Structures are given as C-alpha cells and as structure tokens.
C-alpha cells in the first residue's frame, strides 16, 4: 500500500513538471533508458520505480522527495546551485547558458508564458548578443576567481562557437515569451561602467577595448530604449512592460512560468543563478517582483518624460568611460 502511494505521488509530481501535451512515457524513456513497455508497467503501478530511477527522475525534472512522500514545508525548497567548474570555465558556462535556454524554450511558446525580472544589472537577454560586453562579464568573473588561470588580460579571452550559439539560443528564448516584465534598477549602467574603469586602470583592458565596449553599450541602450518605447520586442512582437525602480535592488530576481511549469532564479556570483522549480519559492519570487512595481515607474509606451530622462542619464554614465 505504501509503495502504491509513493508511486502515485511520483507520477503526479512528474506530470506537474512537464508541459501540457508532452507524453510522460516518452520523457521517462529518455531519462531512464528503458523501453516503452517497461515505462508503462511503472505508470500503471504494476512495477514500482526503483530508488535509482527516482533519483534520475528527481535530477532531471526537479521532483523533490518531499513531494513523493507527501511532506511539504513552506520553509524548505530544492535549489540547483549551477556552480561552474574552474578547470573548464568556458565549457561549463556554455552548458549552463544552454541549460537555461532549454528550460525557457519549453515555456516560451505557451500563449500564457510570462517572464519577469527585477534587475540591478544589465539583462543577460540583451548583453549576451554583444561580443565585447558578453566577454567582459565572463572575464570579470574569471579574474575574480583565482582558480581560473586561463586568461590574464581581456584580449586573451575568446569565446568558443559552442558558447556563442548557446548565448544566441538564450537571447531568442527570452524574447519568445508572450509577456515580459522588466524592473530596472537605476544603477544598471553605472555598475558596469565602474567595472570597465577599474580594469582599464589596472591595464587589463586597453583603451581601444574600452571604446569597443562603449560602442556596444550605446547600441544596447538604444535597443533597450526602443523596446521600452514600443512596449514589445521588434522581431517577435511579444509584449514587454518596462519599469524603472526608485529603490535599489540587493540582487537580480527572475521568474518564468506557464500554467503548468515555472522556475524561479536569483543571480549570484556575477554570471550565475541559483534556480528552483519549487512551487512555494516560485510564488514567492513572483510576489516579490510584483511588489517591487509599487516602487517603480512604468516607462513602456507611457511615461515618456521619465523614459527620456532615464536613458539620457544612462548615456551620461557611458560618456564617463
């Protein structure tokens, strides 16, 4: 009886984790490397899932053990720390970006898909398409971690094609959400400007490279302003709501979801994020981002004066380079 209950709880948890229209049997065949009939015997309850199979399912779909045994606590949640391996930073960073892109791709085509971010730094969905800006963010992280000794100067860091492709996939997946909400800290540009100044002053970034970064920053800012002005991504025509916060953020908070699948993210260690599929955490993320709108001004389509002032201020910060 206990085994039957545990088996049913596992199946129910798995169904919650996969998008509508997805065949659970096919998903399990890919995860467990067993045949279709063996999968259906487990789904019918004729054969219980083994501990090793439960572990593989938990790792792949983010199903926590408390969901399976029927215990739920508002004070606990399972997180993926997504740590980078210092020995292969480019390869693991590429895999991480690709993994984020794949998660977002499973949701982005849904007509009710929503992506919300409260950010104290430039959104990855924008800067990852720019060569110098995306390299600089990664370079800063590498320099900060002494375990990474593959580059000494910014000019030495070159992105692999695998990473470039992963970044493109990530950017596309972000813009394919039906509705996107951005809340930007007013310091999103000045933080990066200060970082560039520092590395220039210690002679790890050349004046020529600073000019390239400056050029890309201007292009990126023009893109952000266009999106805010028309209230949508130009290519996909998907809706974008942009808010400017009147208070500072401690971190970057993100939430992505549909009716059947959601994920919460908190930015850590400059280029990384901890992620969770836990329902309580995702609700908390969604509510927190929503609450920040109370301290923010909507500049998408409306709020023309505030929008012009904000972007003019950001351009003044860039001129300091």
Note whether 120 and 52 are same-domain residues: no
Note whether 45 and 104 are same-domain residues: no
Percentage of the chain beyond pLDDT 70 is 87
Give mean pLDDT, residues 265-279.
76
What is the C-alpha separation between 319 and 316, in angstroms, rounded?
A: 5
Note whether 9 and 156 are same-domain residues: no
Question: Is the residue at 82 inside a domain?
Answer: no
Instruction: Name the pLDDT band for 136 (thresholds 50, 70, 90).
Output: very high
Note whether 60 and 108 are same-domain residues: no
Range of the domain at 227: 89-319
Bridge-based pairing of strands 114-119 and 179-184 is: parallel
- Confidence at residue 71, expressed as pLDDT on a 0 to 100 scale: 45
**Per residue in 65-118, pLDDT tens?**
655 655 444 454 554 545 555 567 788 788 888 888 888 888 887 889 999 999
More confident residue, 108 or 314: 314
Note whether 55 and 96 are same-domain residues: no
Note whether 281 and 198 are same-domain residues: yes
Note whether 132 and 185 are same-domain residues: yes
CATH code assigned at 179: 3.30.870
- Confidence at residue 152, expressed as pLDDT on a 0 to 100 scale: 78
Instruction: Name the pLDDT band for 64 (thresholds 50, 70, 90).
Output: low
Q: Across all residues in the chain, what is the average pLDDT? A: 85
What is the C-alpha separation between 216 and 212, in angstroms, rounded?
A: 6
Structural domains of the chain, count: 2
Question: Is the residue at 189 inside a domain?
Answer: yes
CATH code assigned at 11: 1.10.260
- Does position 318 have pLDDT exceeding 90, yes or no? yes
CA angle 103, 248, 185 (to 5 degrees): 55
Task: Spell out the long-range contacts of 215-222 with Cβ–Cβ below 8 A and sequence spacing 24 or more.
Answer: 216/130, 216/131, 216/132, 216/133, 217/133, 217/189, 217/192, 217/193, 217/318, 217/321, 218/315, 218/318, 219/130, 220/122, 220/126, 220/127, 220/130, 220/133, 221/189, 221/311, 221/314, 221/315, 221/318
């Amino acid at each position: 009886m206990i085994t039957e209950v545990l088996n049913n709880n596992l199946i129910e948890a798995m169904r919650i984790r996969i998008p509508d229209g997805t065949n659970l049997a096919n998903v399990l065949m890919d995860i467990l490397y067993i045949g279709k009939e063996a999968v259906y015997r487990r789904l019918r309850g004729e054969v219980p899932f083994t501990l090793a199979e439960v572990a593989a399912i938990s790792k792949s779909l983010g199903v926590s053990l408390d969901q399976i045994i029927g215990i739920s606590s508002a004070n606990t949640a399972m997180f993926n720390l997504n740590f980078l391996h210092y020995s292969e930073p480019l390869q693991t960073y590429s895999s991480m970006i690709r993994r984020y892109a794949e998660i977002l791709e499973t949701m982005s085509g849904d007509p009710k898909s929503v992506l919300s971010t409260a950010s104290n730094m430039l959104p990855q969905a924008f800067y990852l398409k720019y060569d110098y800006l995306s390299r600089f963010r990664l370079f800063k992280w590498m320099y900060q971690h002494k375990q990474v000794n593959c580059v000494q100067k910014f000019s030495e860091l070159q992105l692999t094609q695998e990473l470039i492709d992963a970044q493109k996939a990530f950017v596309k997946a972000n813009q394919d959400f039906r509705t996107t909400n951005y809340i930007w800290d007013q310091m999103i540009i000045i933080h990066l400007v200060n970082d560039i100044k520092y590395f220039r002053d210690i002679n790890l970034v050349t004046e020529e490279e600073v000019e390239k970064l400056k050029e890309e920053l201007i292009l990126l800012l023009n893109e952000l302003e266009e999106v805010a002005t028309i209230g949508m991504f130009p290519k996909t025509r998907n809706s974008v709501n942009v808010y400017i916060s009147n208070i500072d953020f401690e971190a970057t908070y993100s939430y992505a979801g549909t009716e059947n699948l959601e994920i919460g993210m908190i930015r850590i260690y400059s280029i990384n994020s901890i992620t969770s599929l836990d329902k309580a955490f995702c609700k908390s993320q969604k509510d927190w981002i929503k609450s920040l709108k109370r301290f923010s001004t909507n500049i998408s389509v409306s709020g023309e004066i505030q929008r012009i002032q904000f972007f003019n201020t950001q351009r003044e910060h860039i001129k300091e380079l």
